[in-house]
């Protein structure tokens, strides 16, 4: 029905390139994240070298201001980012989609009320909601950060899910399903979810990127995972004071963050193209 | 006893104005009835009531003698096997993410019809003139006319006794339209048909009897040939004048 203009003009070749590049970037982070479970170049808390060493064969990304190996911390940061992104997006997706569908099915006044509530919630940045949740809980840790980000994302997902679902519910195939005796729960499962998923998944990938960045921001503000969880945000914060004398400490976590976010978005775009029956064979 | 018996039905959406008022008509077993009326006269609304998707605010609708009660699940399941519908827009009526086989089989699965579903789907596709090898394709691979055939296959797969068609040929080009009208004609031998259309030519070709609907009221009922040649009600005359005379090529 609606074909986003930006993807429609991409050739098939360009689309498969999107998928390959996305897979490569995300795959790299995934492999690194899994690897850190069994091996890292150094112990993340070990003072393995002098302070603020430049990159060398021993410390490929140099060392931080305490002399800990930076590559080790960035690798662990991958694991934290993937964990936080996946878990927060999963929470946001389930909560948001449920809420959005409820609103789409609700009677007029309830739908209006929910839509207004969502608009108000969305006016608060995800990060702000997450900060409030963390502040209200009994302390900064990884699961609080995940829950906070998931809650923060859910209104955005809900609003989109509501709009997409309302559009699907107007289709004649929904009426045909009803006259075919299909129950409402089955209609949601068979028709609504598969038809809102393409639009939703692209947004969820975007949210994943935002969640990773927001986690970095929470950590940067000291509201994320406490040490020794080497979140990229904390690395950036720690590198802040020495950014002119040893810029590598700020550059490498930044590159890691950006590469994961771009990778996720490429992957989502590529997957969506591939899974759309109307476009897979042209 | 008539197959479909609509008696003194009133209807309004929410607290809005009356869309249908004091509407009465019957469709007999095996009969093909046309329903003609200008845009907004309430044709789709009437079909929604006849499908049990909406409750009348007054009057009763009976199917095969029993009052239609959308709240009664088990009787509705029986009812849905016997009354099916085809819509106008062959694009919005098929789920783009389902294969043809799944689309046509949906009533069989949802209504828990016993028997070999695969074979029944193939028979339905065959009945509407589609190759049975198409079950693994997606709707986007078909033309508008073929899509309408798929929608008709879904409607007839559980062998209903009454088929409702809401402008089912209006979105098609002329030659496709003629072929789909022919298809409805052949289906009319095995089931009753309530055929809603702006296309008076199609109604003339298909239906022995016709109902003329104006603003939610039936203003004229009768033998199609007679109503078309000597319309009694001024509204019918206006309606017919709006149609090019060329369209009345065929009579049943
Ligand atoms: N969901 C709805 N809520 C409120 N009013 C509605 C709704 N659907 C239809 N109406 C109104 O009911 C009247 C009859 O609509 P209906 O769709 O039944 O007409 P129709 O004869 O099928 O027209 P068309 O030939 O254009 O399809 C119209 O005035 C329309 O505005
Ligand atoms: Mg209509």
Q: Are the beta carbons of B30 and B207 closer than 8 angstroms?
A: no
Question: Alpha-carbon distance B37 to B196, whole Å?
Answer: 8
Range of the domain at A28: 5-280
Rounded mean pLDDT, B87-104: 96
Give pLDDT tens digits for A213-226.
888 888 888 887 77
Axis crossing angle, helix B174-187 with helix B144-156, rounded to the nearest 10: 10
Average pLDDT on B182-204 reads: 92
Separation between Cα atoms, residue B56 and residue B48, nearest integer Å:
10
Distance B44 CA to ligand 2 centre (A): 4
Question: Tokens 């479970």, residue?
Answer: A37
The β-bridge relationship of strands B162-166 and B58-63 is: unpaired
The dihedral through the CA atoms of B103, B107, B110, B114 has a sign that is negative
Burial class (CB in 10 A: 0-12, 13-18, 19+), A26: buried
pLDDT score at A1: 42
**d(Cα A75, Cα B160) in Å, to the nearest integer?**
64
**Which DSSP helix (H) or strand (E) runs through B233?**
none
Q: List the single best residue of B110, B147, B170 to mutate versus A (max A Cβ within 10 A).
A: B110
Total structural domains within chain A: 1
Which bin fits A257, alpha (ψ -120 to 50), beta or left (φ > 0)? alpha
Closest residue to atom 18 of ligand 1, CA basis: B42
Question: How many percent of chain B have pLDDT more than 70?
Answer: 96
Say yes or no to pLDDT of B149 above 60.
yes
DSSP state of B108: H
Structure tokens at A143: 């699961």
What local confidence, expressed as pLDDT, does residue B245 receive?
52
Overall fold of domain B4-241: Rossmann fold (3.40.50)
Task: Name the minimum distance, in Å, from the CA of B231 to any CA of chain A.
Answer: 34
3-state secondary structure of B194: strand
- Vertex A45: Cα angle to A42 and A46 (nearest 5): 55
Contacts of A172 (CB under 8 A, 6+ apart): B87, B88, B89, B92, B93
DSSP A226: P
Percent of chain B past pLDDT 90, that is, above it, reads 80
Q: What sections of chain A are H helices per DSSP?
A: 5-8, 12-38, 70-105, 108-123, 126-136, 142-169, 172-179, 184-187, 193-220, 232-239, 248-275
SS3 assignment, position A35: helix
Distance of residue A90 Cα from the nearest chain B Cα, in angstroms? 23
Instruction: Walk across the sheet containing B18-27 and list its strands.
Output: B18-27, B4-12, B58-63, B66-67
Distance, CA of B54 to CA of A194 (rounded, Å) = 27
pTM of the model: 0.86
Residue A279 is predicted with a pLDDT of: 66
- State the CB neighbour count (10 A cutoff) for residue A116: 10
Expressed in angstroms, the distance from the first to the final Cα of chain A is 16
Please list every protein residue whose CB sits less than 6 Å from any atom of ligand 1. B 13, 16, 19, 37, 39-45
Residue A10 confidence (pLDDT): 54
CB of B249 closer than 8 Å to CB of B200? no
Distance CA B153, CA A269 (A): 35
Position A4 scores a pLDDT of 46
Helices (H) and strands (E) in chain B, counts: 9, 10
Chain B contact set for A181 (CB, 8 A): 76-77, 80-81, 107, 110-111
Q: What number of other Cβ atoms are within 10 A of residue B77's Cβ?
A: 14
- Burial of B179 from C-beta contacts in 10 A (0-12 / 13-18 / 19+): middle
User: End-to-end CA distance of chain B, in Å?
Assistant: 25
Averaged pLDDT for residues B164-174: 90
Identify the pLDDT of residue B109: 96
Q: How far is the CA of B5 from the centre of ligand 1 (A)?
A: 22
In order along its 282 residues, chain A shows pLDDT tens digits of 444 444 444 556 666 888 999 999 999 999 999 999 999 888 888 888 888 888 888 888 888 888 889 999 999 999 999 999 999 999 999 999 999 999 999 888 888 888 898 888 888 887 888 888 888 887 778 888 899 899 999 999 999 999 999 999 999 999 999 999 999 999 999 999 999 998 898 889 888 888 888 888 888 888 877 776 778 888 888 888 888 888 888 899 999 999 999 999 898 888 887 777 776 544
Chosen from A171, A181, A182, A277 to mutate, greatest number of chain B CBs within 10 A? A181
**Whole-angstrom Cα Rg for chain A:** 22
**Residue with CA closest to ligand 1 atom 1:** B13
pLDDT average, residue stretch B132-139: 94
- pLDDT per residue as tens digits for the range B25-65: 999 999 999 999 989 999 999 999 999 999 999 999 999 99
Q: Is the pLDDT of residue B247 over 70?
A: no
In angstroms, rounded to a whole number, what is the distance separating the alpha carbons of residues B27 and A73? 77
Average pLDDT over chain B, rounded to an integer = 92
Q: How far apart are CA A77 and CA A38, in angstroms?
A: 15
Q: Answer whether A181 sits within 8 Å of B80, measured CB to CB.
A: yes
Is B110–A181 a contact, with Cβ atoms under 8 angstroms apart?
yes
Where residue B8 falls (left for φ over 0; alpha for ψ -120 to 50; beta otherwise) is: left
Atom of ligand 1 nearest to the CA of B42: 18
Range with lowest mean pLDDT among A12-21, A31-40, B125-134, B164-173: A12-21
Neighbouring-strand partners of residue B214: B217
User: Residue B20 pLDDT > 60, yes or no?
Assistant: yes
CATH number of A225's domain: 1.10.3720.10
Residue B157 has pLDDT above 60, yes or no: yes
Query: Which residues have their alpha-adjacent CB atom under 5 A from ion ligand 2?
Result: B 44
Total CB pairs under 8 A between chain A and B: 68
| Contact criterion met (CB < 8 Å) for B95 and A191 | yes
β-strands B18-27, B4-12: how paired?
antiparallel
Sign of the dihedral through C-alpha A230, A236, A242, A248: positive
């Amino acid at each position: 029905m609606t074909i986003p203009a930006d993807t429609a003009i991409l050739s098939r070749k360009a689309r498969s390139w999107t998928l390959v590049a996305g897979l490569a970037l995300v795959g790299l982070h995934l492999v690194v994240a899994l690897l850190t479970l069994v091996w890292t170049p150094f112990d993340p808390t070990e003072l393995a070298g002098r302070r603020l060493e430049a990159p060398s064969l021993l410390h490929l990304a140099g060392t931080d201001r305490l002399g800990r190996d930076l590559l080790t911390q960035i690798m662990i940061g991958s694991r934290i980012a993937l964990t936080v992104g996946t878990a927060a997006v999963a929470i946001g997706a389930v909560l948001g989609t449920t809420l959005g569908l409820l609103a789409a099915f609700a009677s007029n006044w309830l739908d209006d009320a929910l839509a207004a509530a969502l608009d108000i919630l969305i006016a608060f940045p995800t990060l702000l909601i997450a900060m409030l949740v963390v502040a209200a809980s009994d302390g900064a840790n990884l699961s609080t950060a995940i829950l906070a980000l998931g809650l923060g994302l859910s209104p955005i997902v809900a609003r989109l899910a509501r709009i997409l679902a309302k559009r699907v519910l107007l289709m004649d195939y929904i009426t045909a399903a009803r006259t075919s005796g299909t129950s409402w729960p089955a209609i949601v499962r068979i028709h609504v979810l598969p038809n809102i998923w393409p639009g939703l998944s692209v947004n969820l990938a975007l949210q994943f990127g935002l969640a990773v960045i927001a986690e970095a921001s929470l950590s940067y503000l000291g509201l994320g995972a406490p040490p020794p969880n080497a979140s990229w945000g904390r690395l950036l914060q720690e590198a802040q004071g020495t950014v002119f004398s040893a810029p590598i400490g700020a550059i490498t976590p930044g590159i890691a963050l950006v590469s994961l976010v771009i990778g996720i978005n490429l992957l989502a775009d590529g997957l969506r193209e591939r899974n759309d029956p109307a476009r897979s064979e042209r | 006893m008539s197959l479909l018996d609509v008696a003194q039905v009133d209807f309004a959406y929410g607290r809005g104005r009356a869309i249908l008022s004091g509407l009465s008509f019957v469709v007999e077993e095996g009969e093909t009835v046309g329903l003609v009326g200008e845009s907004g006269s309430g044709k789709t609304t009437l079909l929604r009531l006849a499908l049990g998707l909406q409750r009348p605010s007054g009057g009763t609708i009976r199917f095969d003698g029993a009052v239609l009660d959308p709240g009664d699940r088990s009787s509705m399941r029986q009812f849905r096997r016997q009354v099916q519908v085809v819509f106008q827009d062959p694009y919005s009526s098929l789920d783009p993410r389902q294969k043809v086989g799944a689309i046509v089989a949906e009533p069989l699965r949802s209504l828990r019809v016993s028997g070999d579903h695969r074979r029944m789907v193939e028979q339905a596709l065959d009945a509407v003139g589609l190759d049975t090898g198409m079950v693994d394709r997606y709707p986007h691979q078909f033309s508008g006319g073929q899509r309408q055939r798929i929608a008709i296959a879904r409607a007839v797969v559980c062998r209903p006794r009454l088929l409702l068609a809401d402008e089912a040929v209006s979105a098609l080009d002329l030659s496709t339209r003629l072929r789909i009208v022919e298809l409805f004609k052949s289906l009319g031998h095995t089931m009753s048909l309530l055929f809603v259309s702006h296309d008076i030519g199609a109604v003339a070709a298909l239906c022995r009897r016709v109902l003329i609907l104006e603003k939610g009221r039936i203003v004229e009922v009768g033998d199609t040939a007679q109503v078309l040649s000597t319309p009694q009600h001024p509204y019918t005359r206006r309606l017919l004048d709006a149609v090019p005379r060329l369209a009345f090529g065929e009579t049943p």
